[in-house]
Every structure is written in C-alpha cells, then in structure tokens.
Structure 1
Amino acid sequence: MIEPEGILTLLNSRSFGSIWFWATLLFAWTLVGRRVLGVPADVVGAAGRRADLLGDDPASLLLLDWLSLTLPRRRVGAGEGALLLGLGAFLLTALAVLGFGYGLEMAQALVLLALPFVLVMVLEIRLARRVADVLHRAQTGAPVNQAGAEAARMMRRHRILVTLISVLAVGLTAFYGAIWMLMHPFGY
C-alpha cells in the first residue's frame, strides 16, 4: 500500500538543486519551439514567401498538407475541453497548494514547469481553430498561395510568442530556483 509520507517525501526531493530538473526544463522548451501545431519550423518558414505567384507555390502546398494531417489531432470538443480544464485546474491547484502553501520544493518546481506549458497549450488550441478556418477556405476554392501565406503568418507569430514565453518561463524559474537555493542551502 502506498503511504502518504512516501508521496510527500517524493514531492519534497531536491529539484532546484538537481541538474536533471534543469536539463528537463531546457529539453522540454527546446522541443516545444521546434514545431508549431506539429509542423516543422522549416516548413512554416518556407511557406508564404511567394503569395503573388500565378501557380501554386510548392511550399504553401506542403504547409497546407502538413496542416491537413496534424490539425485533426488538435480538435477538442466542448465536453473534452471541460474535462481537460477541470482536471488540469485541479492538478495545478493541488500542486500549487502543496508547493507554495506547504513549502514542498518538487511541487513548486512542477508548477513552474507546467504552468507555462498550459498557457502554450491554450494558445495552440486557439491557433489550431484559426488555422483550421484558413485550411477549410483553401480546400473549398480559395487561392492556395494566399491561404498558405496567411497560415504561415499566424504560425510564425505564434512561434515568436512561444519563444517569448519560453524565455520568460526559464528565466523566472531560474530566478525562483536561485532564491530557493539561497534561502534553503541544505534543502530544508
């Protein structure tokens, strides 16, 4: 049987003083920045540069093909959205209370790690809905080059926003971790 003291001991282990926490933090943010809605950054970068071509731009076609494959995975229905929102809010609140209310270092680290990812997830769901409209217009007869350029523009803007969020998240986590280490030099 799992004992509550064992779970609390796990949550209280050193995280800000562990190289593994910092490696996980940087690795996670590196992975998030490499793709936008599952589309590689080089595909997004190449699309939409030549929206004035007479024929269909191959880069725009490639971007729209990627989107037609990846966007169906990003659909969240109303019931699923409510369930995800409730479960996520419960977990983050529980971790925040354990971390900042009871002073458990691992819970604080998990909140600082997960909260920006929740923000990025919400922004990606919003972007997916907006890009799905552009993709639908392209599939129903809108010019491919214009649709590719519009989708690429929205995705580039999203990538810049995610980069800013990642820089802020890593910086604030590092600042908070340094303060924690100064205030708790022996881990308690």
Structure 2
Amino acid sequence: MDWTGLVFETIDMRSFSNLWFWIVLAVFWSTTSHWVLGVPFDMVGRARKQGGQAAQDLEDMVRIQVNRRLFIVEQAGLWLVALVAAVLAMLASLGFWYDIELAQALFLLGFPMSLVGLLSIATAERIRERGLSGETLWRKLTVHRFWVQVIGMVSIFVTALWGMYQNLAHGVLG
C-alpha cells in the first residue's frame, strides 16, 4: 500500500460516518461558545460574583479583544469578506454540486462560524461605540453568548440531519 492509501485509510474522507468529525464538531462549538469575543466566559461569572479586580480584568480583556477585532476589520475587512465568501462558495459548490462529502462537512462547519464572526463584529462595534462597562457589558456578553449557542445548536442539528441523510443515502460502509 502506498502512503496516500494509508493516509486516506487513516483519515476517512467520508466525514459524516467518521467519529472524529463528530468529536471535532462538538469541541468546535463548545470552544466557540466558551470564548465570547476572545474572552473566556467564566470571567463574566467571576466579575459578577467578585467585582473589583475581576470586573476590571474582564473589562480590560474585552477592551483589548474588541479593539483588536475592529482593527482587523478596519484594515482588512473587505479582503476577509471576499476570501471567506470565496472559500464558502467553493466548499458549497464542491460539496453540494459535485457531492464531495469532505467539502460538505467543512461548509457545515464554516458557514455558521461566519455568522458567529459577523455577530462578533457587530457586538464589538456596539461595545466600543456605547462604551459599555460593568453590568451592561456583562449582559451584552451574555446575550452574545446566547446567540452564539443558538447558532451552534441549529448548526449541529442541521449537520446531524444532513449527516444522517448522507449515511442512509450512500451507506455507512459504502
């Protein structure tokens, strides 16, 4: 057996019948909902309970992450939108037109994440323009996390439905 055969046998390209894909999907969305605007969400709870230095640390972390994200958007936003749109269009075409399952799986990971990215940019802009701090900042981060989790749940549901359809239509072992 040559090395490409070994690689493709080890890394099954039939994503929806591969346990590793589902593990990656769960870890992906768990991590995404924990890191709100690049800040671990447990800092919000700590700031609520303890106040003082914990609240100041949260505000500093949010300010750094908001400024960082908005700087990237201001400098390269148009290029990023074009690149993400091109990659998603390529994955959608390869996946759903040419029936390449790996491209379908990557699209079902990437498209909802682009929505989370847009939501994060909108939230960052609101935080900076309104100068949110304290309880209003904590509420905004909690609401942002809620919507990220909603996007994640819908994404997992749609991906599971599509994966079951693919496995039934093409056979799990076929």
In which range does the TM-score fall when normalised by the shorter chain? 0.7 to 0.9
Q: Which structure exhibits the higher relative contact order, with contacts defined as CA atoms closer than 8 Å and separated by 6 or more residues?
A: 1
Q: Secondary structure at the match of 1:132?
A: helix
Q: Which of 68, 73, 88 is matched with 2:63 structurally?
A: 68
**Between the two proteins, what is the percent identity of the paired residues?**
36
1:148 aligned to 2:148? no
* 1:160-184 Cα shifts (integer Å, max 9, x gaps): 1111111111111011100110000
Asked whether 1:159 is paired with 2:151, we answer: no
Q: Does 1:85 align with 2:81?
A: yes
Q: For residue 184 of structure 1, what is the aligned residue in structure 2? A: 170
Asked if the contact 2:15–2:102 (Cα under 8 Å) also holds between the matched residues in 1, the reply is: yes
Deviation at 1:73, TM superposition (A): 2.0
Kept in 1: contact 2:17–2:172 (CA 8 A): no
Structure 1 pair 186/64, CA: closer, same or farther in 2 (3 Å)?
closer
Residue 19 (structure 1) aligns with: 19
User: Normalising by structure 2, what TM-score?
Assistant: 0.84
Shift of 1:107: 0.7
Which residue identity does 2:82 align to in structure 1? G
Answering whether residue 111 of structure 2 is matched by residue 125 of structure 1, we say: no
Deviations 1:44-72 (A, max 9, x none): 1244579xxxxx84443232122233223
Note if contact 1:15-1:105 (Cα within 8 Å) is conserved in structure 2. Answer: yes
CA distance in 2, matches of 1:93, 1:46: 41
What amino acid is the match of 1:14? R
Alignment size in residue pairs = 165
Query: Distance between the aligned counterparts of 2:107 and 2:147, measured in 1?
Result: 20
With normalisation by structure 1, the TM-score equals 0.78
Q: What RMSD, in angstroms, separates the aligned Cα atoms of the two structures?
A: 2.6
Give SS of 2:115's match: helix
Structure 2: segments with no counterpart, 5+ residues:
1-7
**Structure possessing the higher radius of gyration over alpha carbons:** 1
